[in-house]
Amino acid sequence: MNVPPFSLSQQIDDLGSDLEEAVLGVLRSGQYIGGPQIKAFEESFAERVGTRHAVGCNSGTDALVLALRALGIGSGDEVITCAFSFFATAEAISAVGATPVFVDVDPDTFLIDLDQVEAAISDATRALMPVHLFGRAVDMTRLMALASSHGLRVIEDCAQATGTQWKGQPVGSFGDVGCFSFFPTKNLGAAGDGGAATTNDDSIAQTMRELAVHGMPRRYLHTALGYNSRLDAIQAAVLNVKLGRLSTWIEQRNVIARRYRDQLTELPGIKLPENQEGHSWNQFVLRIQNCPTGQPLCNGQCSPSAISSSHGLPESYCRDWLKQYLHDRGVNTIIYYPIPIHRQPAYEHLGYDSGSMPNTERLCSQVLSLPIFPELSELEQQHVVSALHQLYGRNQAVEQEPLAA
Ligand SMILES: *Cc1c(COP(=O)(O)O)cnc(C)c1O
């Protein structure tokens, strides 16, 4: 059996003719830019998130850029975020000319450590950009209180958290703007790139709309230097079909996560992700804290020379070895993310040294994402679980050999 980390084939089969009709409908209509599919999607998505507006755009990255621009954030401004995320979080801040200021994460939640935010606030700080990483919500009660006591704007990076709630309220409805990605592997994926920015503020929504179309409030009048960042009608049509299934998919992700958590307890050295009410489980991320058996997991194979894919962090050899071990047994995993943003070559100029974000750096050498997607079958999941159990079984057998001899 071969278990992929993510697959859409079952979902496409399930959606069947609905998807075909939606896509062909757009093709036949000739309305590829704008039109009723876009309007319908923006309205239903806003309703789903619980905001007055949703502005469709080209990607989650663009949603972040549009949000920053609409809030007037640019050169000389600082935005506080975390370095344990996809690169686009910080990239968007830099793209508008502002500077990302990184704060370490809590190693148990993988999320920005709110205890450390206050110390990072300077005279130049304009906004906080929390990331609801892997589908788990940041404590928005606390973050909003922090932001309002310092007069800061809040842009939520909800790219991995469509369907996530904090205290029963959807993420993307707390801050000034919520930014969503419809990249195919996200909780609500388009058939290509897509994104949306949600807000309750009429004027922010209007500005984002205009910026997404060349800063053009009416035809050929340009009041700002904007972008070409529309959501395609064909993507909106796909999303309109899929949005109706989102709740079911989130429930299925929760079932899969619960099963992993029930069946993988007490594997030494492997820390399971904590549950949280409202989690949408975009990823199920293990932490390989050391050689998981307490014995060398890998019988000494977990060394730099044995690992071709190692990212060069000493602690990662065991994780990388485990990834290979699982791969050899048909279990395909992914590392989100092997290199922290503050240590990326593109951010060398910001001057963050190795060791400046200890939790983030350690996580990058420890994390491993198990297969999770709504259509993952119980049989496939069982295969993943037994591959992990076998690892311990094998090591116990090795350990017992001297006794038997
Ligand atoms: C995917 C992602 C983005 C960017 O979204 P795109 O649609 O790929 O541009 C931003 N932030 C995070 C945390 C993401 O996971």
Ligand 1 midpoint to CA 23 (Å): 24
Same domain, yes or no: 317 and 363: yes
- Considering the domain boundaries, does residue 1 fall inside one? no
Q: Whose CA is closest to atom 1 on ligand 1?
A: 159
Q: What is the pLDDT of residue 403?
A: 37
Assess whether 256 and 202 both reside in one domain. no
Cis ω on the peptide bond leading into residue 32 (within 30° of 0)? no
Answer yes or no: is pLDDT of 291 > 70: no
pLDDT tens digits for range 343-370: 999 999 999 999 999 999 999 989 999 9
Question: Band of the pLDDT at 318, cuts 50, 70, 90?
Answer: confident
Residues 221, 279: one domain? Answer: no
Same domain, residue pair 206 and 230: yes
Cα separations in angstroms, 401 against 302, 348, 405: 21, 50, 6
Domain that residue 185 falls in: 9-103+111-243
CA of 64 to the centre of ligand 1 (A): 9
- 59 and 186 share a domain? yes
Domains of the chain: total: 2
pLDDT digits (tens, 9 = 90+) for 94-131: 999 999 999 999 999 999 999 999 999 999 999 999 99
Decide if pLDDT at 339 tops 50: yes
C-alpha distances (whole Å) from 146 to each of 104, 152, 169, 286 are 17, 8, 19, 30
Pair (297, 158) in one structural domain: no
Pocket test for ligand 1, best of 134, 183, 334 (most atoms within 8 A of CB): 183
In a domain, 405, yes or no: no
Ligand 1 centroid–CA 271 distance in Å is: 26
> What's the distance, Cα to Cα, between the start and end of the chain in Å?
35
pLDDT at residue 395 in the model: 45
Q: How confident is the model at residue 405 (pLDDT cuts 50, 70, 90)?
A: very low
Tell me, yes or no, whether 261 and 179 share the same domain. no
Of 57, 59, 61, 129, the one to substitute when testing ligand 1's pocket (max ligand atoms within 8 A of C-beta) is 61
Taking the centre of ligand 1 as the mean of its atom positions, its distance from the CA of residue 135, in whole angstroms, is: 12
* Res 401 pLDDT > 50: no
Looking at the fold, whether 196 and 326 belong to one and the same domain comes out as no
Q: Which residues line ligand 1 (CB under 6 A)?
A: 59-61, 85-86, 88-89, 131, 157, 159-160, 181, 183, 193, 195
The residue out of 205, 227, 243 marking a domain boundary is 243
**Chain mean position to CA 322:** 23
Residue 156 lies inside a defined structural domain of this protein: yes
Per-residue pLDDT, 314:
53
Provide the CATH number for the domain around residue 174: 3.40.640.10
Residue 2 lies in a domain: no
- On whether both 83 and 220 belong to a single domain, the answer is yes
